[in-house]
Amino acid sequence: MDNINKAKIKEIFSSIQGEGLYVGCKQIFIRFCACNLNCAYCDTDFYPDNINDKSDYFEFTPEELLKYLEDNFDINSTHSISLTGGEPLIWADFLKEFMPLVQKKYDILFYLETNATIDDNAKIILPYTDIIAGDVKLPSCSGIDVFDKHEKFYKVASEIRNNKGIWFNTKNNNFFVKVVFDDNITDDEITKTVNLAKKYGFEIIIQPRMIDDKISASKDTMLTVFEKFTKIYRNTRLIPQVHKFIDVE
Ligand code: SF4
């Protein structure tokens, strides 16, 4: 019987990671269609305009996707495969077949870029994941408040991390969150984010929002916000989106 477990994928490309703790690493990016959120700053054309127009996205079974990667990319010279979107955890049924398929054949890391709001699917996929690059969405910038969902997600992530010390190394650099902010960030949001980080043990990357490839927060805001975070949580880094400066995708 044919494998009908297919995922809709917007694009697949090889490039340089431009955000977070693995900035500069060579990755294969698999950008999945669809997302469960609707952030004000979302710049990702992640959903096909016309779901019936097959030219607007790829559709793969796990076996077909692995074959596509083997035919089009040099997997052995790549640091990690970035599962991104959209929201990749929407495709948990697909990923739970695809990830072990790759891991059986290749010594390559899986880097999960997630909005950190779907805890049920996290339970399925995080055991196959090497690096979690999650989000904390600030209402002042994203326009949505999902702190309750982040709480559930990061609880799951930290439990799996503690039980699976082999694939999460002893330092925290395989578990970090990105916090996109602008001049509207509030002290309450900083406190809530740091509380999550302390409770669940992740690093924080604060990332100024980009508008038209320019940093939207003022220099004063960036430095003030950085000081506020580090004062209560020293495992905080300020890293803008680097790939925009070297003009790569
Ligand atoms: S979580 Fe990411 S992909 Fe989804 S709406 Fe927000 S910015 Fe866009």
Asked if 16 and 79 count as a contact pair (C-beta separation under 8 A), the reply is no
Return the closest-CA partner of residue 204 out of 184, 183, 162, 232.
232
182's tokens? 């602008």
pLDDT computed for residue 170 by the predictor? 41
Q: Is 88 in the pocket of ligand 1 (CB under 6 A)?
A: no
118-131: per-residue pLDDT in tens?
A: 999 999 999 999 99
94's CB contacts (< 8 A; 6+ apart) are 5, 6, 7, 62
78's tokens? 């790549």
Largest CA distance in the chain: 61
Asked if 89 and 118 count as a contact pair (C-beta separation under 8 A), the reply is yes
85's tokens? 């979107």
75's CB contacts (< 8 A; 6+ apart) are 28, 69, 106, 108
pLDDT computed for residue 57 by the predictor? 86
Task: Write down the residue that tokens 């320019």 correspond to.
Answer: 214
Q: E strand or H helix at 199, and its extent?
A: helix 187-200
pTM of structure: 0.92
Question: Closest ligand 1 atom, CA of 35?
Answer: 4
What residue owns the CA closest to ligand 1's atom 3?
Answer: 86
The whole-angstrom separation of Cα 75 and Cα 108 is: 8
Q: Is 86 in the pocket of ligand 1 (CB under 6 A)?
A: yes
What residue owns the CA closest to ligand 1's atom 7?
Answer: 42
pLDDT computed for residue 160 by the predictor? 87
What is the pLDDT tens value at each position of the chain, 249 positions in all? 455 899 999 999 999 999 999 999 999 999 999 999 999 988 777 666 555 666 678 899 999 999 999 999 999 999 999 999 999 999 999 999 999 999 999 999 999 999 999 999 999 999 999 999 999 999 999 999 999 999 999 999 998 877 665 455 444 568 899 999 999 999 999 999 999 999 998 999 999 998 877 888 889 999 999 999 999 999 999 999 887 766 666
Domain 7-238 has CATH 3.40.50.300: no
Task: Write down the residue that tokens 């209560």 correspond to.
Answer: 232
Query: Domains of the chain: which residue ranges?
Result: 7-238
Q: Is 32 in the pocket of ligand 1 (CB under 6 A)?
A: no
Q: Is 18 in the pocket of ligand 1 (CB under 6 A)?
A: no
